[in-house]
Structure 1
């Protein structure tokens, strides 16, 4: 990894991952019975906490020390860790092939130029090419050939400095602000968003991109998107450039995603706060919608300084402009963006009923009677887990009837108790202190300031909640808590977050009461603590409970059609505590035996993220984000390119067998 590339990611990670939750919330039963908490914490360490999982499972132990050591679901031989500091390859399990399929700069829209190889394209070309830092994605099949023909939708989360031939250019001005070349800023905005590409197997059975397809499209950081739901037209979203608050330009920092049962894609705006600045110290201090989300309060926005070129990223209030200028522009980000990949002429919609925070994912749980819940992680240290229950039901026989189901419903936030129980607390204006006296004048205020509303309700601060996956059949919900080295007095350890200086993270799972996605109570347990094995000599906070191949910092989670749980990791492989883990990896777990096996290892400096498959389970796509050297060129010299891999089994079989 080059020095400037490493510096960029170190700064970005330091800002994105910092804890800004001031609430000091603790689980309710800690407030009621501290002595019982201490006893339960002791039983947690001993691995003796058990519970009855919503009627879907027999009582199960917190840790699977007595679980079978071999899984019928995992049919491949695990690959070893890769600790070489210059490792620049992808290693996949024996009997499988992984090949580069779609990389930053590849043509998307008809008329797009081919990637030049030196990042010299301008912003107009970038608007037609694949964006940077591939993340969440999903395969949408065509009904006539679901396993060989469909659409692939891929998020482009943020940009690397390698987007430009000589990296990013900043001009430090005498007043402390920063200048940027307009062309660089426009290209960076164009490299955000997402791509929709048609994909198809050729006559030889190899997957190809269908160039020139009418389905192919780019949605960028400047594409027009409609605002929908209770905040559409609301004063809190009005700006000088959009006084009607009906249309916003662009979607930013799309990390993970979700899909609806009616066949649309849900892009999730995660660390959108880093693109904005409010230079007014007094206004920033009293404006919850800025302060609670960590906007920059300095002279320029963190790492991008787009406000030097595009005024909408300067959220400093302007008394001489309508609606305070662009002070409300940050309120227009942090939402779900619903996109219909099958209709390239449709305008994506930002759904505001689901609340605003740094949303990692939007994972569906569908009940037998077609009621729904969507689960979200707020990816910041000490933030919360949410779910949204639409007011209406999914109608499988009328796609049009489902069009606006995400515009009405109830947003909940999770509270985990140390006895293995949990509650969903509704974020509803007028209830439980969410009143004007406490700063919530309306439901709109609750939704825009969902974090502050969750603080007020006493939600449980978690160790960086990220992806959520729902197990087929049982509807058991899994969440990755990536890590949290900031857990201390304001975020005390508890049963769900049991380690101080938690560098390796954990995976939790829960069953909703009665197996009902809309239930307001649940039973939870720790599926595993990531980290080194017992007896390794590592400090206690680095030791995990993994049954099988070790890993750190679980991030992406995904259930395949056979019920295997795929786990993607995201940690700084240059840090000393991660040396035992090697490069970031893709693993597979049996949710019943809890055995974990390493399936793939990526190149040095990358993150494994984004995962989807064909309905027959014979093709898997995963993303290699921000590789540190040169993948996929693998010559040690070329510009690194975030890349989507396509993985198949050499004998044509199901992935994971």
Structure 2
């Protein structure tokens, strides 16, 4: 792992000047004369606001950290906002957003529409294959996690074959070319714009391919449950299939096979002729995302979480090694490798290999039958395999991301109502010897949700170029618990990861009614933050009683999941 030395005095002065100019500019806009940093939600507030008002706004007391003693790179580039429940995307003064790609908009040359319930966003600079890092033009990949039958077809109880087909075409992934034109990003018609949906042909690769676990299948239909994902160093998308079992009943008669879903699927946004691949060596479970990196010895490592209560954290290590000049070879790297599960009790990675781990060979069901007979069986039910060898059940591991400066791995543990953990936490760990292929690690708690910190249910994570952490929340299924009393709508928070304010939450954005903000990603220059607005108005009783109208088409009140671009960031120095 590469460690980054401290910046030179000249660079440090430049960065400090940059951040102070930014803060001065934003505070002057508000007529403020100084700041104090709040604990709890850790909000930067003008000193003219009383401590009592600050505590009321942010759920806790106020501390007074002198910003002159803090690395300016770790200060939030905004004045944080209080909770809210408005039906819009609420941002600090100085920031703005606009919609880029909403459900139902035609974006391909053959008339296909953007899918439903946006999630992970992959940003692929249009010049990536030539070594470029364009911040004004890109191929964006947008995951579409699931459908709301009320909005897609209208019948939530008795789906017709036509409605089932419409739903199957609304999930999966959209590959969308975008370009910044003036102050806004626009969709550009391009032959590479396309949809991968529940009807697309996808190849199975790895140990499960052709096995009894998938009824001998080598080619399957579709990718569904597309939650979060990841991007490879060779410029492909890894879309993660999460909640896939419920479609068996919902899409009865369609030929849907649940065992063909629940994998990590690799898609090349630049090459429509390259058939997507399901990477079975990475295991089948409720994949939230995959954080990809290249280890010291050139092997590719991917960290993954199984998004359900009392499920586990995994690591995949490829057999082959990354070749920076051979993209075609790299596209096969995830076909073979070793899958591990984390044991947080002793800080170890346990190998999920049927031939090498006797616990897998001896594992029995409650009626005494062998759970596994092959490596294909182990991978096809990775959750049962993980628990059989002592993997640690944790509190809904959702997004996992790797710190760009330290190499530490951050895990969002969303919540676990089984144990009364409604608020969740973020943990981080460091591999032994700073080697991502190591079999031991040391972990610690980074931030804990609750009224004292101002956030709850951490979900997707993204790092900015300075290594600060940005997090969005997932309280959507917890509307009846005490969270709503202090948290309001789902929100986005900023955390410094170093210095005296590390782990303190600063509220940056608030989503519309019933919505999650998902899949955040920065443009390479840091000037644009793309975010998905997922399931606005999801708790609506009917089309006549809509709880949200966010991004509705002209002449309609129906809310639309949509990708938005947030502007107002000054960009980061390299």
Shared fold per TM-score greater than 0.5 = yes
Q: What residue is the counterpart of 1:357 in the other structure?
A: 285
Of residues 153, 156, 161, the one that matches 2:149 is 161
Q: What residue is the counterpart of 2:14 in the other structure?
A: none
Q: Deviations over 1:52-111 (max 9, x none)?
A: xxxxxxxxxxxxx9996866321211111104xxx2111112211111111110112214
Of residues 370, 380, 390, the one that matches 1:448 is 380
> After superposition, where does 1:414-493 map in structure 2 within 5 Å?
414-417=342-345, 421-430=346-355, 431-435=357-361, 438-487=370-419
Q: What residue is the counterpart of 1:290 in the other structure?
A: none
Of residues 135, 139, 143, the one that matches 2:119 is 135
Q: Is contact 2:447–2:504 with CA below 8 Å preserved after alignment?
A: no
Q: 1:148 to 1:355 in 2, by over 3 A?
A: same
Q: Which structure's residues are more often strand, by fraction?
A: 2
Q: Deviations over 1:321-378 (max 9, x none)?
A: xxxxxxxx32211111000001122210101111111111111132344332101110
Q: Is contact 1:415–1:425 with CA below 8 Å preserved after alignment?
A: yes
Q: Is contact 2:424–2:449 with CA below 8 Å preserved after alignment?
A: yes
> After superposition, where does 1:541-560 map in structure 2 within 5 Å?
546=453, 550-560=454-464
Q: Deviations over 1:512-532 (max 9, x none)?
A: 001111110000001111010
Q: Is contact 1:255–1:267 with CA below 8 Å preserved after alignment?
A: yes
Q: Is contact 2:233–2:293 with CA below 8 Å preserved after alignment?
A: no
SS at match of 1:400: helix
CA RMSD of aligned residues (A): 2.2
TM-score by length of 2: 0.80
Number of aligned positions between the proteins: 482
Distance in 1, matches of 2:118 and 2:160, equals 25
Q: Is contact 2:518–2:533 with CA below 8 Å preserved after alignment?
A: yes
1:274 equivalent in alignment to 2:206: no
Q: What residue is the counterpart of 2:196 in the other structure?
A: 219
Q: 1:655 to 1:583 in 2, by over 3 A?
A: farther
Distance in 2, matches of 1:481 and 1:232, equals 31
Q: What residue is the counterpart of 2:251 in the other structure?
A: 306
Distance in 1, matches of 2:116 and 2:536, equals 11
> After superposition, where does 1:361-440 map in structure 2 within 5 Å?
361-417=289-345, 421-430=346-355, 431-435=357-361, 438-440=370-372
Q: What residue is the counterpart of 1:543 in the other structure?
A: none
1:190 equivalent in alignment to 2:169: yes
Distance in 1, matches of 2:133 and 2:360, equals 50
Q: Is contact 2:283–2:379 with CA below 8 Å preserved after alignment?
A: yes
CA shift for structure 1 position 205: 4.7
1:509 equivalent in alignment to 2:428: yes
SS at match of 2:87: coil
Q: 1:620 to 1:452 in 2, by over 3 A?
A: same
Of residues 162, 170, 175, the one that matches 2:157 is 170
Q: Is contact 1:191–1:220 with CA below 8 Å preserved after alignment?
A: yes
Q: 1:333 to 1:164 in 2, by over 3 A?
A: closer
Distance in 1, matches of 2:535 and 2:325, equals 42
Q: What residue is the counterpart of 1:56 in the other structure?
A: none
Distance in 2, matches of 1:518 and 1:111, equals 44
Q: Is contact 2:286–2:307 with CA below 8 Å preserved after alignment?
A: yes
Distance in 2, matches of 1:432 and 1:217, equals 45
Q: What residue is the counterpart of 1:619 in the other structure?
A: 528
Distance in 2, matches of 1:208 and 1:449, equals 42
Structure 2 residues without counterparts, runs of 5 or longer: 1-61, 364-369, 538-547
Q: 1:380 to 1:532 in 2, by over 3 A?
A: same
Distance in 1, matches of 2:494 and 2:382, equals 34
TM-score by length of 1: 0.70
SS at match of 1:447: helix
Distance in 2, matches of 1:506 and 1:404, equals 35
**Higher RCO (CA-CA < 8 Å; seq separation 6+):** 1
CA shift for structure 1 position 576: 4.6
SS at match of 1:595: coil
Q: Is contact 2:300–2:333 with CA below 8 Å preserved after alignment?
A: no
Q: What residue is the counterpart of 2:488 in the other structure?
A: 582
Q: What residue is the counterpart of 2:59 in the other structure?
A: none
Q: Deviations over 1:164-194 (max 9, x none)?
A: 36x22534xxxxxxxx311111001111101
CA shift for structure 1 position 145: 6.2
